[in-house]
Amino acid sequence: MSETPLLSMRGIGKSFLGVPVLHGVDLTIEQGEVHALVGENGAGKSTLMKILAGVHSADAGTVELNTGESGGRMVSFTHPLQAQHAGVASVFQEFNLLPELSVAENVHLGREPRRRGLIDRRAMAERTAEVLADLGVEDLAPTAKVGSLSVAHQQITEIAKAVSQGADLICMDEPTAALADAEVELLYRLVRRLKERGVSVLYVSHRLKEIFDLCDRITVLKDGRLVQCADTADITPDDLVTAMVGRRIEAVFPERLEGTAAGEVRLEVRGGGNAWVDGIDLDVRAGEIVGLAGLQGSGRTEIAEAVFGIAPFTRGTVKVDGKPIRITRPRKAIGAGIALVTEDRKAQGLALRQSVRANARMVLDANARVHSRKRLNRIPGLLSSLDLVARGEDQEVRYLSGGNQQKVVVAKWLAAEPGVIVLDEPTRGIDVGAKHKLYSVIRELAAEGLAVLLIASELIEVIGLADRIVVLHDGRIAGELPGGATEQDVMAYATGRRAEESRPA
């Protein structure tokens, strides 16, 4: 390391309501370095990042910045604007953008160029275009309304704003959590372009592949303490998992449980179609995990929503346990024994200000066809079997980690004793230890005879868990592969290449 790193945080301590969350943590970032900050949920990553961003103030320790404006001096931010003026920008999971304004207006918010006392919109658009071009972004118009953009392009807008402010250090909190595979590649290019320009990046992520692909060094936190800081080249993924969770995970994906076998078809779709998908033929058997793979927009989530009655099939037929059914709304799906774990647990799966107990019994309380005293009495046992970490069933769900929130979502559906469970991005935004637990839960659900339909943007999850993989392209089924297929085979179908190769000359 150089004698004068860009950032040096020493002995950082922080408590909330008397509960310590950081214990003397050190973090050093070099000029032009991509530095990973990793650890399980609750390890202290977000708190450390927010202290650097000026959202929280440290109770102990020092922060030294060697940026152009700060010039190697101690800083103590009490507001995000102070951090921005010192060359530190942060891109959080919840973007700080105004959807009704354009990209250029968001990038220059509060710093609008003026001419004769009026905002010079032409100059603002030109300067934004220059920033985007410097980042290698060609498909984002400065005049586009932010509210109409994809998540990836909103993220680019945040990064462009940081660059336009002259940031020397950009902190990114789970930057790919809501991105599809193609959009992740775009983020890779952006991070590498920033590095080439000498901008440092603090990269907070649970995704090991991204960490090893992008980052120069890795700092590991556990229970609010510094466990390890190492060059990426000097640590293996398995060693990193051990440092993060305090134990070795011998197999990332648990083996199929002994005695598990595919049984009768529980969910059958023939010729299913609506405005988004068409010609869907799909079987999911008892004891079987079927993975849906494909690029964003291929129709994965749309199939889940059609099966569950959110955006029903308008063509074709559906059978559940051999009986024809027309699922026109979620209540009918629930009555037929279908459960859906949605991809956005905070917006669609939980009542964040209600208790664990209230959330876990939500499906039973709202649907008379599945409500029973027996099922209500099963809830504490379900939460226990999922290894839920909470103060108790009265704790508000918003105070749980992402992994524990997801366990509550799963418990609320298992309480209804479904025969078919659809899991849409079940491990999004949770740490590696919680992921491993959910992988085991998914295996156990299949072993108990449930039919599991699994959707995941991370191909490795579909490949590692599914017994069969159904690949979608442009709203149609492009092909089917056995579990354990290669990423190359899946992507050949997902991108439409395999279909093109099979056409007669």
Lowest mean pLDDT across 218-232, 234-248, 472-486: 234-248
270 and 312 together in one domain: yes
Are 12 and 75 part of one and the same domain?
Answer: yes
Q: Name the band, by pLDDT with cuts 50, 70 and 90, for residue 458.
A: confident
Q: Specify whether 201 is located in the same domain as 331.
A: no
- The encoded tokens of residue 224 equal 């609010």
Please give the mean pLDDT across all residues of the chain. Answer: 88
Last residue of a domain, one of 251, 282, 316: 251
Per-residue pLDDT at 250 exceeds 50: no
Residues 338 and 200 in one domain: no
Label the pairing between strands 451-455 and 420-424: parallel
Question: Same structural domain for residues 273 and 226?
Answer: no
Q: What is the pLDDT of residue 375?
A: 93
**Residue 92 belongs to some domain of the structure:** no
For residue 498, the model assigns a pLDDT of 63
Question: Mapping DSSP to helix (H, G, I), strand (E, B) and coil, where does residue 404 land?
Answer: helix
Indicate the pLDDT class of residue 504, thresholds 50, 70 and 90.
very low
pLDDT tens digits along 108-166:
988 888 888 888 999 999 999 999 988 888 888 999 999 998 888 888 898 899 889 88
Mean pLDDT of 59-82: 83
Provide mean pLDDT across the span 257-271. Answer: 87
CA distance 39 to 88: 22
- CATH code for position 214: 3.40.50.300
pLDDT tens per residue, range 356-390: 999 999 999 988 889 999 999 999 999 998 888 88
Q: How confident is the model at residue 18 (pLDDT cuts 50, 70, 90)?
A: confident
Determine, yes or no, domain membership for 292. Answer: yes
Tally Cβ neighbours within 10 Å of residue 221: 25
Decide if 235 is inside a domain. yes
Q: Residue 11 belongs to what domain range?
A: 1-87+195-251
Residue with tokens 């494909």: 294
Average pLDDT over residues 81-90: 90
In this prediction, residue 409 carries a pLDDT of 93
Task: Tell me, yes or no, whether 236 and 290 share the same domain.
Answer: no
β-pairing, 200-204 vs 34-38, is: parallel
**Residue where a domain terminates, one of 224, 251, 278:** 251
Question: Three-state SS string across 21-84, please?
Answer: EEEEEEEEECCCCEEEEECCCCCCHHHHHHHHHCCCCCCEEEEEECCCCCCCEEECCCCHHHHH
Please tell me the total count of domains within the chain: 2
Residues 10 and 77 in one domain: yes
Say yes or no: 244 and 315 in one domain: no
User: CA angle 182-186-191, nearest 5°?
Assistant: 145
The one-letter amino acid at 121: R
Both 324 and 438 in a single domain?
yes
- Is the per-residue pLDDT at 37 higher than 70? yes
Q: Is the pLDDT of residue 201 over 90?
A: yes
Residues 216 and 316 both lie in one domain: no
pLDDT band at 322 (very low <50, low <70, confident <90, very high): very high
**Nearest to residue 113, comparing CAs of 134, 102, 128, 98?**
128
Q: What does the pLDDT read at residue 502?
A: 47
Compute the radius of gyration of the chain from its Cα atoms. 24
Cα angle value 304/266/357 (rounded, 5°)? 60
For residue 215, is it within any domain? yes
Q: Are 265 and 322 in contact (CB under 8 A)?
A: yes
pLDDT band at 503 (very low <50, low <70, confident <90, very high): very low
> What is the arithmetic mean of pLDDT over 408-418?
92
DSSP-assigned beta bridge partners for residue 34: 201
67 and 22 in a single domain? The answer is: yes
Q: Is 290 a domain residue?
A: yes
Please tell me the predicted confidence (pLDDT) of residue 96: 82
The neighbouring-strand residues paired with 64 are 8, 74
Burial of 361 (0-12, 13-18, 19+ CB in 10 A): buried
Shared domain for 243 and 300, answered yes or no, is: no
Report yes or no on 494 lying in a domain.
yes
**Would you say residue 322 lies in a domain?**
yes
Q: What percent of the chain has a predicted confidence (pLDDT) above 90?
A: 52
Residue 497 lies in a domain: yes
The answer to whether 343 and 430 are in contact (CB under 8 A) is no
Do the Cβ atoms of 311 and 464 come closer than 8 Å?
A: no
